[in-house]
Structure 1
Amino acid sequence: MISSDYILELCNVFHSGQVEPGSCMQRLLGSIKTGVILKDVSLTVHSGEVLAVLGSKGSGKKALLDVISRRVQGPTRGQILLNNQPMSLSLFQQRCGYVTHKCDLIPGLTVEQTLYFTPTKLSGYLKKSKVKQVMADLALSQVANRCTENLTKSEYRRLMIGVQLIKDPVILLLDEPTWDLDPLNTYLVISILSNAAKKYGTAIVLTMEKPRSDVFPFLERVLYLCLGDVVYTGGTRQMLEYFTAIGFPCPQLENPLMYYLCLSTVDRRSRERFVESNNQISALVEKFKIEGPSYRQNSISGHHNMDHGTLLSHGNKVPLLQGKPSSFHVGWLLYLRLLAATFKFKKVGFKQLFLRLFVVPLFYFFLWIFYREMKNYQHTFVSKSGLILNSLAGVYFLGILNTIIIYPSYRTRYYQEAQEGTYGGALFLITYNLVSLPFSFCSVAGASAIIYPLIGTFEDPIQYLYFSLILWACYIFSEQQTMAILMIVKDFLKAAIFSIYITCICITLSSGILRSIKGLQDWLFYLTYATQARYAAVFLSRQVFLSPSMLETLSYDLKTNCTNMNSLEMANFNTNPYCLYKNGQSFLADRYTRDNNDLIFSGILDFDMNLGMTFAFALGMIIFNLFLYLIPLPTFVKDKFRE
């Protein structure tokens, strides 16, 4: 081994875990079926080499990668060493990379931006130079300014590899990097990986289910797995010698990789073939345990004769725990990435800007059209109450709508990047809110300017500001509530339905608009104190119905004047078929009081309390989400976002 060489070694690794998919309830109850997945796996791979892990579905290929990356759940025995140092989770996260089978990159970002905004210690000119170098190595330079959603399968797969190569890993794991690619692109991806291994001195371990013969020259080592057992591991060219020596020569004009893969696969087409192939594989496994160690240890790639200059950017030995980029640096990159994806003058960027800035004002413009002819008559009490309801429901439901459309792509990317240990949920939420909150404030303030003239005048800008702030707080609450649900619910439609259902219940019971609070049972009445809709609706109702124009007795229409009723009619004011409410205060008393106490002194209309509690709910939901995203989630919840 030369001084700058790296060796990844697995010595007698056993792993037990889940052997078949289980339902969510089975996982929670711990009743899933488990078994031995990897059995006595040993392998060696040097820097600059490509090791292909071959096997049929269920052979344990992905489990092997998860064991090396320390992501696996379940008991594991044996040693995983990098230059004779135990492979810990921190070591893997800082010095290695893992390209999963599926990776959801952020739509709207170009290839160059995706690489540049990947958190690493590099910055400035060095980061830009590294990005250009990686794009050139992966044949992505010609699509540098193309958005991720417009890439071909091959380009997207190569970009996924580039996201890891930009971090300069010493070990790079890839789960099925050529899956669903045509032969030409399969050859391109494997040749690029081989060149990258030589150039950067990276040891590459990849899985393949159907290897083609044209990739044979690029694979220095190969590992055949069958139901967790090792059939062969060692040099690719020595593989031919080994199988010939034990009586299984590869026929001429056959693809040796595929031929020996078929030899290592259980034939399930009939019971006789199953028994025969199973016995044959068991014999091959036992044979390799006896004769295989020499093939596993020997290097056949000419690796020892490599020039020292070809192993770039690595020191003489693996520095353990080099440290991560600072939280400020990572947060700044995440913030810039969010802005870049939002202010993109392409379809995705326009959609985000429209949702963030113009959906709420557009909805309020339609409200203005519907309510603009509203006059001050008795029916105005119901009309303005409906306007308050629609204003509240608008910000609540549009906050949910915007969140379920915009947020899931960033959330899924966070779950995938969090596996690499670069940043946590709190930092992710802080950067997302720093982008989202200013947009939502501008959107709600603009919407409020459209609808506010129907309930007040701009002569008192403070009241307009309060009106805007209350609606903004409701928007924030619904946004954060939906983000909390999306933490564990992958399907955005299910999350939206659940969030809307909760919001509808709160508005119906607590706002006092659809039904009077006085009609609620005691336990429901006290439950309304735990909802934001109660305080927001009361604040807006107070602002509307205690205004000077609503404190006078309103006429029923142009012909029926409620101010000229006789004393008997005044005594039965609330039962009068024409004049239901004496003024705005009596309307509020009908909606929000449960006894005959003076409404002003009952505390329900307290200005400061309602304003403070509305914002307390919004701020509390933000803080709750920060803590929620710090709680370790079950692995099966995380898996559904990254796979």
Structure 2
Amino acid sequence: MSHTELDNLENAPFLSNYQNPDASLQISMDPDPVIPAALDVGFLDDECRDLTFQGLCYKVPGKKRDILHDVSGHVPAGQLCGVLGPSGAGKSSLFDVLLGQEDGSVYKGSLPRLSPESIAYVTQEITLVTSETCFECLKFYADLSLPTFTSERTKIELVEDTLAGMDLNHCAHLAVGGKSLQTGAQVDGVSRGERRRVFVGCSLVRKPQGLILDEPTTGLDATNSLQVVKVLSQYCKSRDIPTIVSLHQPRPEILMSMDLVLLLARGRVIFWGSVDGMLPYLTSQHVEVDANENPADFALDYIS
């Protein structure tokens, strides 16, 4: 797709059934998404517990083009949203803005900062003490992140609850292993997928109201990647928290584990809605769809 064609998508029909994402096969011809008025950009409401951002425009010094241009989305509590896009699409910038970590300026739309107590952010790079057990790793993070008045009993209960939520009870007292930060040597321990879930769990022991993960399947094989995503999906539903993950060329099984998809290109929203609605939307843009092709690959090829 040429840059001119991509720019024209700004005025294309926008899939925006926010009230009932499962019904998003009904394509709205209104280019302006309908966001609940009570919610603001990046604001987590105590009652509805949804994560909403609207009309984000983000620019950095020295760059003519917006890094993000009029980006909106709504992730209901208990749902998992996958953010897809080629390199430079704005996925990391969107996360930075939502977390208040951007270097430039948000010049359109108010953006209340999400406090560390409200939302957890999990990076790609895993940093764990390889000799510690899964339980010890989570307990260490509980000691660091929970208020000083939190009792030991409460901390242990939170750790045990997180281990169960991340499907780690079977390896709670095994060493996490992995690459040693001191020597660089590989230390035997749990599987890579289990290690990734331990690292995610370290951010969950403080019971955040929302969760953002940067490519949580990086470095994992197909089986472990799918297991991580399934556990995340189960966790966000059982804890009723909105969860956003960025994904790099996910397999069909992983894509279908998402409740919602946000497709970005050059800082603009190309699609927002349910997974089932993504290909019908692209078809509505007069694009030939191959039913045998991975929907994620097809979408990324289309906007690249």
TM-score of the superposition, structure 2-length normalised? 0.74
After superposition, the Cα gap between the structure-2 partners of 1:124 and 1:183, relative to the gap in structure 1 and judged at 3 Å, is same
Which is worse superposed, 141-150 or 196-205?
A: 141-150
- How do 1:139-538 residues align onto structure 2 when only pairs under 5 Å count? 139-149=167-177, 150-248=189-287, 250-265=289-304
Letter of the 1:87 partner, please give it: P
- Give the equivalent residue in structure 2 for 1:7: 50
Greater C-alpha Rg: 1
Given that 1:15 and 1:74 are in contact with CA atoms closer than 8 Å, whether structure 2 keeps it comes out as yes
Partner of 1:66: 96
| 1:240–1:249 Cα contact (<8 Å) kept | no
Offset of residue 75 of structure 1? 0.9
- Aligned-residue sequence identity (percent) comes to 28
Instruction: State the Cα distance separating 1:151 from its structure 2 match.
Output: 3.7
- Offset from partner CA, 1:265-306 (integer Å, 9 cap, x none): 1xxxxxxxxxxxxxxxxxxxxxxxxxxxxxxxxxxxxxxxxx
- Deviation, 1:211, is 1.1
- Of 137, 143, 153, which residue of structure 2 is paired with 1:125? 153
Structure 1 residue 197: Cα displacement: 1.0
Residue 131 of structure 1 deviates from its aligned partner by 1.2
Q: CA deviation at 1:107?
A: 4.0
**In the TM superposition, what is the alpha-carbon distance from 1:184 to its structure 2 partner?**
0.5
Distance of aligned partners of 1:74 and 1:212 in 2 relative to their CA distance in 1, 3 Å threshold? same
1:42 to 66, 72, 94: 72
Aligned to 1:23: none
Question: CA separation of 1:106/1:77 partners in 2, compared to 1, >3 Å: closer, same or farther?
Answer: farther
Matched, 1:87 2:117: no
- Report which of the two has the higher share of helix: 1
How far the C-alpha of 1:126 sits from its partner, in A, is 2.4
| 1:98 pairs with one of 121, 129, 134 | 121
Alignment partners' CA distance in 1, 2:106 and 2:63: 17
Instruction: Give SS of 1:157's match.
Output: helix
Q: Is residue 147 of structure 2 the alignment partner of residue 111 of structure 1?
A: no
What is the letter of the counterpart of residue 69 of structure 2? K
Q: 2: distance between equivalents of 1:59 and 1:158? A: 27
Task: For residue 109 of structure 2, give the secondary structure of its aligned residue in structure 1.
Answer: strand
- Structure 2 unaligned residues grouped into runs of 5+: 1-18, 20-44, 178-188
Equivalent residue runs for 1:49-60 within 5 Å: 49-60=79-90
In the alignment, the residues of structure 2 paired with residue 40 and residue 116 of structure 1 have an alpha-carbon distance, to the nearest angstrom, of 41
Partner Cα distance (1:207, 1:92) in 2: 21
Counterpart Cα distance in 2 of 1:262 and 1:92: 36
Task: Give the TM-score normalised by structure 1.
Answer: 0.36
Q: Give the ranges of 4+ consecutive aligned residues of structure 1 lying more than 4 Å apart after TM superposition.
A: 1-4, 32-35
Q: Distance in 2 between matches of 1:144 and 1:3?
A: 32
**Secondary structure at 1:57's aligned position in 2?**
coil
Contact persistence 2:73–2:272 (CA under 8 A): yes
Q: CA deviation at 1:249?
A: 5.2
Q: CA RMSD in A?
A: 2.3
Counterpart code for 2:53: L
Looking at structure 2, the residues matched to 105 and 78 of structure 1 have their Cα atoms a distance apart, in angstroms, of 39
- Contact 2:50/2:241 (8 A) holds in 1: no
